[in-house]
Structure 1
């Protein structure tokens, strides 16, 4: 087995992120139940009126069934893409050294995905058919929606707006509009989408490393 420590590091980062997300999602209902019991105890000890109790329950419901989940998943997608950016940048730097290229990926135009794709295939001459960039491109658009518009697809530039609307229509765990909550035009992300996004990124980097001949996939025992 050919060992490439950068590849091992990359695989470990994304395994860690997948585990991190799974554990955080699992904690939400546990904490919610604990907070519900605290409200119940408070209402019992203080003999609060029903209206006040109802407000407390509504706030609890809104936080744990919408706001906390939205915040958790938004922050996770942003973190995931930060790691993608960092590892792509390092991947291109490694290619530059191995192929003795004068240009850096950052010398090219475009966003991180466009620059890296051009660098990998046009400058380093790695065959395009072996690496599929669509999923990381999709992730980039979701990240942009979160970072640049606070999750409002309607405020994106036309190209990204059309892109994310197509993703929403594909029923992959993205949606907008929820009559139960006030922010009805905000992007909502499911736990399943987050999990699948990590898996897609893992597959993408496996394709990159394989196409570039950088080591073999390492699976911990």
Structure 2
């Protein structure tokens, strides 16, 4: 089933822009690290040690801090996009029972409304939805604790560690911060695109 030009503009095109943005940022981060590595190649061992000591903060920024901040920001942007499109779909096909009358928040609220009120064949067991539910815990840690796992309750820490172990391209470093690698956001964009296409087509049936 073809979803039409409106879907392409509202969903596909927006996700393509997010993907282009991610590629632009990752490319610039790599360029900066390449400059540093090229400078080191021209130095002998003692000079290289002095260089690293002098420019350590800059190296740490481009190697660790900037990628972490950028990827966390991009991931939460993609997640917010997904959530907004699910809620928009609920509002577009709103029934006598209003969306505002449903308990819950975000994607869970949208899931309940799409299943129970609009009565679509919601893909509860699809790998994309399972991935999204797990990613919700990643999102919450980033938004509410700036990605610092140690700030979560012990129960939430255990749940998040299980999620990290289940998902690819994500880890927890020695400082107990979530680390998304360069593929995580692109993978989440693909998951989001496949999932939204599925539920939009279900509503159209």
Band of TM-score, shorter chain? 0.7 to 0.9
Shift of 1:33: 3.8
Q: Match for residue 195 of structure 1?
A: 186
Alignment of 1:87-166 (within 5 A): 87-96=85-94, 101-129=95-123, 132=126, 133-157=129-153, 160-166=156-162
Deviations 1:102-146 (A, max 9, x none): 233232111211100000010011123477322222222211110
Q: In structure 2, what is the Cα distance between the partners aligned to 1:190 and 1:174? A: 6
Residue matched to 1:63: 61
Residue aligned with 1:93, SS: helix
Please give the residue correspondences for 1:72-91 in structure 2 after superposition, counting only pairs within 5 Å.
72-91=70-89
1: CA distance, partners of 2:195 / 2:156 = 21
Provide structure 2 residue ranges, at least 5 long, that are not aligned to the other structure. Answer: 42-46
Q: Taking structure 1 as reference, are residues 12 and 60 closer, same or farther at Cα in structure 2, changes over 3 Å only?
A: same
Q: Is the CA contact (8 Å cut-off) linking 1:131 and 1:211 kept in structure 2? A: no
The alignment status of 1:31 with 2:32, answered yes or no, reads yes
Mapped partners of 1:169, 1:131: distance in 2 = 20
Task: Give the SS at the match of 2:176.
Answer: coil
Q: Deviations over 1:159-202 (max 9, x none)?
A: 64333211221251111124xxxxx2111111111111111011
What stretches of structure 1 of length at least 5 have no aligned partner?
A: 41-48, 179-183, 215-221
> Which has the higher Rg, Structure 1 or Structure 2?
1
Task: Note the aligned Cα RMSD (angstroms).
Answer: 2.8
Report the 3-state secondary structure (helix = DSSP H, G, I; strand = E; otherwise coil) of the residue aligned with 1:191. coil
TM-score of the superposition, structure 2-length normalised?
A: 0.83
Q: State the distance in 1 between where 2:37 and 2:58 align.
A: 7
Tell me the distance in 1 between the aligned counterparts of 2:118 and 2:148. 37
Separation in structure 2 between the aligned mates of residue 213 and residue 39 of structure 1, nearest angstrom: 58
Aligned to 2:7: 7
Deviating beyond 6 angstroms after TM superposition, the runs of 4 or more aligned structure 1 residues are: 35-40, 49-52
